[in-house]
Every structure is written in C-alpha cells, then in structure tokens.
Structure 1
C-alpha cells in the first residue's frame, strides 16, 4: 500500500474530529492555454501565471509581461500585495520587486548585501520588508529593502523546510515531519500543529490552511483539528489559489475554474 496513503489515512483517524464537506458555488471559468504554471489572482481580478519563464499578468483588458533571462528560472512569485510583486530567482540568489505594471523597481542580490545571505525561501512582509530563510545560518530573517537593513530574528532551524509561506505579519513553514510552525515579526516561534503528507498547501491564516492530497482539496483547522473536504467538480487539477472568498482551480486543460466559498 502506498506510504503517502497510509500516512494520510492515519492522520484522518488520529486527528480529525469532523470530516464535513464544504460545497463551493461555481462563479465562472477562464481559459489560459498558454500558461505553464498558474500563480493566482488578486482582488482586482488580475490573473498571474508563468509562460516560458516570464511572469504574465492578465485580465479582460490588459496583458503585461516581465522577463529577466539573466537571473535564470523563476522559483516563486508572491502576489500578496499586487502593488509590490515579489519574484524569487533561487539559482542566482536574487529577489526582484515589481510594481503593478510589472515594471522592475528593486533587485536584491544576497551575495551583495552587507552580510552574505543565501536565500532559500522568501516572501513579502510588512513595511517594505522581505521574509527570508537563510541556508547559511539556518535562520529566518527580515530584510528592509528601502534602508538596506537586515536582521536575523530566529534561532537556527535544524529540520528541513518543505513549505514556506508568508503574510505581512507571519512566516509559516512545514518541516520534514509535517509539523507546522509560525514566527512573528519579533522572532517568536510557535508550533501550530501537524498536517498529513501533502503536495500543495496555502495558509489562510495562523489557524487554517488549504491542502491538496491525491488530487483532493481539504480545509484544515489547527485549533480544533477539524478537516473539511472541499467538494469541487474537478477530479483532477494542477494547483489552486484562494483569495478573499474566491477559490481558483487550475486544471490540466489550462482553464481556471472560480468558486465562491466561505472559509
């Protein structure tokens, strides 16, 4: 029997208090035949995706593109703030900031900072700062890119980080044993809980996350250990994104299905 399935089964038996279904309501669908990787959508109904290693921002009226071949592959894209989009080029230890027109505003090279930083994971924080995990010190830090101030705020994290997600006030991560942790802007680390083996994950807040396993989508509440199945029509999907009550599902046929859902 598949090891991932066993771990997932035992998680449900051991932790789940309730396994109710949440049924989102179909909103609309769009086709993006040229997309290689779907990133997400913002509150203004702009959609972001990767095509030929370029970031594309698209809506019904405009289509914008940013590409920087000199920095290699785009590792991650953070659209938490659509006015300050964050691209991570891991191979070149670099971060690029874009405005809402996809104009480049800032390039941060970890090799050129006052203290050498090897960016392993990054994300946007509040007040013109970037969350990062430094593979050299194994610490989480904050970099203020307007003033060029850098501060390591955590103790060394010895376990492997499988997922690293951020919002303005917190960074969250999942370690190799599927333990979930968070850290605030002052460096306080707290354990949130545990999740099953998962292929994809998005934190809604410090109490909830969406995760996908075996092409099924679930909502997990860390406080009461409640799991809700998200009942969608798609039996197969590539990835998903949630923003302000809208769940976007990217299918293998390069279409995006939007649902309204209350989490």
Structure 2
C-alpha cells in the first residue's frame, strides 16, 4: 500500500509538472525580410523579400521570382527537392528544385475539371494537398498524372491554415482543427479555440493562438503552452524539435523539449 501511494504521488507530480514547455534559446540573428518561411537541417534559410523567394546558405543566395503570377501566397519547403510556391490570385502552383529552378507549373485555371484553390501543402510522392474552395474539401492531387487520388468530406467554415507531412494533413478552420491521413480519412477533429496558425512536428503540432504558441501532443492529447518571452510572432517554423520565431527584426532559434 505504501508503494502504491508513492507511485501515485510521483505520477500525479509528473502530470502536474508537465503543464508547459520552456524552450531554450540557442541562437538569434538579425533578419530583414518580408516573410520568413523556413530553415532546415542543412542550414538553408528560406524567406520572401520583394515578392521573390530566396534561399540562403553560407554566402550563397538563390532566388526565384515570377512577377507575371502576382504576389506569392505561400511557400512549402517540407521536401527541399520539390518546393511548392503558390500564387492564389492566378490559381497556380510552381514546383522548384533545390536550386530554385522550375520543375513544373500547375495552372488550375486550365485543369479539367477546373479547381479553385485557396491553400496548398506537400503530400507524399508527387502529390499536393489542395483545398478546393468551390467544394470546400481537400484533395490529394497527383501532379504527375494530373489526377485527384482522394477527397475529404467537405467542411463548413472558413479555412485559416493548412500544413502536412508525408503521413498526415492538418486543416485549420474557424470552427475546427482536422487531422487527415493520406487516404483523406479524418483521424481526429478538435474545436478551434481561437487558433490562427499551425505547424506540424511529426505527429504533433505547434499552434498559434493570439501572440502565443501551444504544443499539442497527439499521443497524450495534451495542449502545453510554450513558455516564451513577450515578443511579436510574425512567423514561426518547427523542424526536429527546433522552433524558429521571426518578429520582423530578429530570427530566434529555440530548442524544444517535449518529451
């Protein structure tokens, strides 16, 4: 009985103790860009400035710009060999290689059937997750064969954000946060508690709410606040337990301890 009491005590203590995550600041660098996109394991930094996508490593700078397509809406670098640049105004996606050379152009205005796309994200193989705003569903689209592999059930509220890895896709709407597998089936659905942006960390998520970040642990179903100093969060990115935060002047690099 005594051992049971001690076990319950330490269990309850660990549960109470794990109420937030305190990251460790590893590095901070001045950065003057319009939009910070990502930084990967190879120390490549991606950002947008003057409507051009730039990739920087050491002293080398690569650039991609296509003014005929208008303003860049989003960039996804999850697969650095197949970077997706989305131009929502012209309903077009450009896929770039690791040198920012154009591989494929997808003009959904000329696709059959026509697709009116508002958000995109990377899928596995040669696929993209597309949110079709005419039908209010996600499509897993194969851009090699120009066919849709799977479709999700339509959603009823406005889409705020979309993120993915090779196994899952997360769709944030004004009402709910949805997680889908690569067959387009719902894995889980959570109420949106004023969330505005999401980034995947393996099966987990980092979620922005107002000017704060929350870590969602998929296995434990816990929402853990990330204890950060008071700062503006213009953009953030997460990879391999490293959290990057850009505040329009500085890029901060934090080590996350989520175990």
Question: Using a 3 Å threshold, how does the CA distance of structure 1 residues 261 and 156 change in structure 2: closer, same or farther?
Answer: closer
In 1, Cα distance between equivalents of 2:197 and 2:252: 17
What is aligned with 1:54?
Answer: 52
Report deviation, 1:240: 1.4
In 1, Cα distance between equivalents of 2:135 and 2:209: 32
Q: Does 1:173 align with 2:193?
A: no
Q: Does 1:262 align with 2:254?
A: no
What is aligned with 2:200?
Answer: 203
Report deviation, 1:205: 4.0
TM-score, length-normalised on structure 2?
0.86
What is aligned with 1:218?
Answer: 214
Does structure 2 conserve the Cα–Cα contact (< 8 Å) formed by 1:22 and 1:229? yes
Report deviation, 1:203: 2.7
Question: Using a 3 Å threshold, how does the CA distance of structure 1 residues 251 and 49 change in structure 2: closer, same or farther?
Answer: same
| 1:51-71 Cα shifts (integer Å, max 9, x gaps) | 011111112221111000011
In 1, Cα distance between equivalents of 2:96 and 2:230: 33
Does structure 1 conserve the Cα–Cα contact (< 8 Å) formed by 2:34 and 2:248? no
Does structure 2 conserve the Cα–Cα contact (< 8 Å) formed by 1:49 and 1:56? yes
1:3-22 → structure 2 map (5 Å cutoff): 20-22=19-21
What is aligned with 2:188?
Answer: 191
Question: Using a 3 Å threshold, how does the CA distance of structure 1 residues 184 and 51 change in structure 2: closer, same or farther?
Answer: same
In 2, Cα distance between equivalents of 1:22 and 1:113: 46
Q: What is the DSSP-based 3-state SS (H/G/I as helix, E as strand, rest coil) of the residue aligned with 2:68? A: helix
Question: Using a 3 Å threshold, how does the CA distance of structure 1 residues 136 and 199 change in structure 2: closer, same or farther?
Answer: closer
Report deviation, 1:160: 2.2
Alignment partner of 1:149 out of 147, 155, 176: 147
In 2, Cα distance between equivalents of 1:244 and 1:223: 17
Report deviation, 1:224: 4.0
What is aligned with 1:136?
Answer: 134
Does structure 1 conserve the Cα–Cα contact (< 8 Å) formed by 2:140 and 2:184? no
Query: Over aligned residues, Cα RMSD in angstroms?
Result: 2.1
What is aligned with 1:7?
Answer: none
In 2, Cα distance between equivalents of 1:217 and 1:100: 30
What is aligned with 1:114?
Answer: 112
Unmatched 5+ stretches in structure 2: 1-15
| 1:115-153 Cα shifts (integer Å, max 9, x gaps) | 111112111101111111112222221221222223452
In 1, Cα distance between equivalents of 2:120 and 2:17: 34
| 1:69-95 Cα shifts (integer Å, max 9, x gaps) | 011111111010111100110000000
- Size of the aligned set, in residue pairs, is 244
Q: What is the DSSP-based 3-state SS (H/G/I as helix, E as strand, rest coil) of the residue aligned with 1:112? A: coil
In 2, Cα distance between equivalents of 1:113 and 1:84: 21
In 1, Cα distance between equivalents of 2:159 and 2:219: 22
